[in-house]
Amino acid sequence: MAVLGVDIAPGGLFAYAVFENEEVVERGVGDVHRLAQLFKKYKIETLAVDNLGELFQYGKPVVRLLGKLPYVVNVVEVTREAEGYVKMEELVGRYFGVEKGHLDPLETAVYLAMLARRGVGAPVKLFEEETIILIHRRISTTPGGMSRNRYMRNVTHRIKAIASKIEARLKEARLDYDLFLKEESGEVTSAKFVVYANREVVRRYVKPMRSIDIAVAIFSAPARGGKAPARERFLIVGVDPGVVTGIAVMTLDGEVLDTVARRGFSRGDVLRYVSQWGVPVLVATDVAEAPDFVRRLATMCGAAVYTPGRDLASEEKAQILEKIRWRAVTSHERDALAAAYRAYQEYRPKFEKLEKEFGSILKFDQLEYAKALVVRGYSIAQAVSEALKRRGEREVRVVYVTVEKPCAARDESLATRLKALEYENMQLQKELEELRREYAQLRRAFDDARWRDAKYRELQSRIEALSAMVAEKEREVELLKKTFVEVLASYGSRYRLLHVSEVVDCRGGEAVGTICRNIDSVDDAVARGTMGVPLRQVVKLQLGDFYVVDLDMVRQLTELVKQCLEKREVVDIRKIVEQYRRGLV
C-alpha cells in the first residue's frame, strides 16, 4: 500500500514523499501536476497531511485533484490525536527517537508518510458523500458573429442530449440525484447533477468526457459541514425549489429564524444549511402537488411533507409576509416562508392544545419532542406518552391523559398525505409492473441465449467432426491424385483399362492372365486350379465401370500361380476326367 506525505512548500509548491514496501521510494518538491503523476504511477491509497486547515487554505489544487481522481483516497491528519493536536517534531521524537528543533517541508513529508503507514493520526472527511457531474461548453461565444445563434442551439442540444443519457444511467443504477440547468438568453449553457453517492460508485456508470465543444467533469463535493445547533430544536422548513431555491426556517412555535435564496442549492446544501438551526420535521411547499425536490428532501431527513389544498396566490403570500412582519429579499424567500407559515397554521391548533393540557407536566424539550411526533402523525396522547419516556428524572408520576375521540370531519392534512401516499403507491405499482415486464423480457432473452449457446456447441461439435472427415477425404483425394498421375504417366506400358464385363468368376481352367473377381489371393487361385489372378491385388484404381489394372502385377502373380501349380504333387483325377470329357486331353 503506497502512502503519500505532502507538506506545503514555498512558491505555491508541495514537498512530497512516497512510502511503499517499508521504504521511501520517491521524494521531492513539485506542483500539483507532479502530484497527479505520483497518484497515477503508484496508485496512492492514503494521503498524509499535518494540518487539514493548512491544506484547505494553501493546497486547494490538491483538494481539487483528489476530488477528480477515479478512485477514493483516504486522507489522514497525522498530528491529530484523541486528546488534541501534537507537533510533528514531538511525533518524530516519540516514534523514531529523532530530536529535531524544526523540520523543513521535505523532511515533514517523509515523516508524514512513515507515521501514517504506522497508523498514527486520524482519518478526516475531505469530501461530502456527494458527487458533482458537470456538463459544460468548452468554447466561449462572447465574440459573437453570424453563426453564434446556430452554435448556441447546437451546444444546447448537445448538453441536453448528454444530460438525458446520464440521467437514464443514474436512474438505471437507482442513484439519488438533483439536476440543475443553467440558462442564458433562453439557451442551456451547462447542466449539473448532484448525485448522492460516492465518486467511485458514480464513475462505474458515468465517465468523464472531453470533446471539441462539450466536456463532462466528475468530482466530489468538498466537505461543507454546517454549524451545530446550540440545542436540539425541531423545525418547519419551507422550500421553493428551482434554478434558484428559496429556504425558510421556522420553529414549531411560529418563530422565523432565517430565509435565504441561492442558485443551484442541492438537497445536501439545504440540509447542511438548516442543520445549524436544528432538525427539520416538516418540509412545506406552496403548491398543492409537492415537487419531486421537496419529497426527496423530506425523505432524506425523515420529515413529513405539507402541501396546501390549492396553490397559494401571490396576494395571499404577500399578506402572510405582512402579517408576520418579515422582509423577504427575493420572491423565492417569500414563497418558501409563506409555505412554512401555512404549515405552522395547519398544526397550530394541535400545538396549542398540547401546551394547554400537558405544558405543566412536560419539560420544554419534551414538549418540543411531542410536537414533532404530532407532525409525524402521532395522536396527542401517543405523542405525550412517548415524550414522557424521555424524562431523565427517576420519579414516578401518574398522569391522566385524555384520549382524543376520532373526529367525523376528515382532517385535511391527513387527506392530503393519504392522497400523496396513494399516488406514490400507484407510481410504485406501475414501476413494479414495468420491472416485471422487463424481467420477463430478460428471462426470455436469457433462455434464447442459452438455447443458442447449446445449439452453437452442438454445431461446433458437428463442424469439428465434419472437418476431420473432410481432412481424411482430402488426404484420400491427394493419394488418388498421385496414383492417377502415376497411371497417366505409365499408361500403355504398365497399366491398361479393363471393363467390369471382362472380369469373370474363376472356377478353374481359365487361361493365363484372366482377371478373377471371386478370388482374393494366389492360394485361392491355386486351390481352384486356375491361371487367373485376383482382381483385388492387380487393380490400381477404379473409375466408374472400368478398372485400371497393373500389368506388371498381373505378370508377377501369373508367374507365381504357374510355379505353385507345377509344384503340386497331388494329381486331381476328377479334373483330368473332366478335361478328357471336354476333349481337352
Q: Please tell me whether residues 326 and 243 are part of one structural domain.
A: yes
Q: How many Å is the Cα radius of gyration of the chain?
A: 48
Final residue in a domain of this structure, among 486, 520, 549: 486
Helix axes 60-68, 32-42, angle to 10 degrees: 30
| Selected residue with higher pLDDT from 510 and 487 | 510
Average pLDDT, the chain: 82
Q: Say if 526 falls within a structural domain.
A: yes
For the chain, percent of residues with pLDDT exceeding 70: 87
Q: What is the CATH number of the domain that holds 40?
A: 3.30.420.140
Q: Please tell me whether residues 513 and 574 are part of one structural domain.
A: yes
Which H or E run contains 471? helix 412-490
Final residue in a domain of this structure, among 62, 91, 124: 124
- If one counts the domains in the chain, the total is 5
Closest CA to 14 of 23, 2, 22, 39: 39
Helix axes 105-117, 88-96, angle to 10 degrees: 50
Q: CB-based burial of residue 113 (10 Å sphere; 0-12 exposed, 13-18 middle, 19+ buried)?
A: buried
pLDDT at residue 412 greater than cutoff 80:
no
Q: Please tell me whether residues 474 and 505 are part of one structural domain.
A: no
Q: Please tell me whether residues 252 and 380 are part of one structural domain.
A: yes
239-259 residue pLDDT tens: 999 888 999 999 988 888 889
Q: Please tell me whether residues 384 and 239 are part of one structural domain.
A: yes
pLDDT at residue 410 greater than cutoff 60:
no
Q: Which domain holds residue 475?
A: 431-486
pLDDT at residue 329 greater than cutoff 80:
yes
pLDDT at 468: 92
pLDDT at residue 133 greater than cutoff 70:
yes
47-96 residue pLDDT tens: 999 887 778 777 888 888 888 887 788 888 888 887 778 888 888 888 88
pLDDT at 423: 63
User: Which of 99-108, 337-346, 390-399 is the least confident region?
Assistant: 390-399
pLDDT at residue 492 greater than cutoff 80:
no
pLDDT at residue 552 greater than cutoff 90:
no
Final residue in a domain of this structure, among 182, 198, 222: 222
User: Which of 136-140, 280-284, 319-323, 532-536 is the least confident region?
Assistant: 136-140
pLDDT bracket for residue 402 (50, 70, 90): very low
498-541 residue pLDDT tens: 888 888 888 888 888 888 988 888 888 888 888 888 888 888 87
Sort strands 214-222 and 127-137 into parallel, antiparallel or unpaired: antiparallel
pLDDT at 69: 82
Q: Please tell me whether residues 296 and 150 are part of one structural domain.
A: no
Contact 51, 22 (CB under 8 A): no
Per-residue b/e over 261-281, b at no fewer than 16 CB within 10 Å? Answer: beeebbbbbbbbbbbebbbbb
| Selected residue with higher pLDDT from 236 and 381 | 236
pLDDT at 575: 64
Q: Say if 402 falls within a structural domain.
A: no
430-446 residue pLDDT tens: 888 889 888 988 988 89
223-237 residue pLDDT tens: 765 555 545 689 999
Which H or E run contains 178? strand 177-184
pLDDT at 395: 41
- The mean per-residue pLDDT over the stretch 382-392 comes to 76
pLDDT at 230: 46
Q: Please tell me whether residues 384 and 305 are part of one structural domain.
A: yes
Q: Please tell me whether residues 214 and 297 are part of one structural domain.
A: no
For the chain, percent of residues with pLDDT exceeding 90: 14
Could you give the angle at the alpha carbon of 355 between the alpha carbons of 349 and 357, nearest 5°? Answer: 100
414-434 residue pLDDT tens: 665 676 677 667 778 888 888
Q: Please tell me whether residues 254 and 218 are part of one structural domain.
A: no
pLDDT at 396: 39
pLDDT at residue 196 greater than cutoff 90:
no
pLDDT at 406: 43
Q: Say if 414 falls within a structural domain.
A: no
Q: Say if 416 falls within a structural domain.
A: no
Q: Please tell me whether residues 360 and 258 are part of one structural domain.
A: yes
pLDDT at 415: 61
Q: Say if 401 falls within a structural domain.
A: no
| Selected residue with higher pLDDT from 404 and 544 | 544
- Look-up of cell digits 481337352: 584
Q: What is the CATH number of the domain that holds 175?
A: 3.30.70
Give bridge partners of residue 195 from the DSSP assignment: 131, 177
Q: Please tell me whether residues 282 and 375 are part of one structural domain.
A: yes
pLDDT at 490: 65
Beta-carbon contacts of residue 513 (< 8 Å; ≥ 6 apart): 531, 532, 533, 554, 558
pLDDT at residue 190 greater than cutoff 80:
yes
Q: Please tell me whether residues 47 and 185 are part of one structural domain.
A: no
- The mean per-residue pLDDT over the stretch 174-203 comes to 85
pLDDT at 240: 92
Q: Is the pTM of this model over 0.75?
A: no
- The mean per-residue pLDDT over the stretch 128-136 comes to 87
Q: Say if 502 falls within a structural domain.
A: yes
Which H or E run contains 8? strand 3-9
pLDDT bracket for residue 391 (50, 70, 90): low
pLDDT at residue 398 greater than cutoff 60:
no
Q: Say if 536 falls within a structural domain.
A: yes
pLDDT at residue 363 greater than cutoff 80:
yes
pLDDT at residue 545 greater than cutoff 90:
no
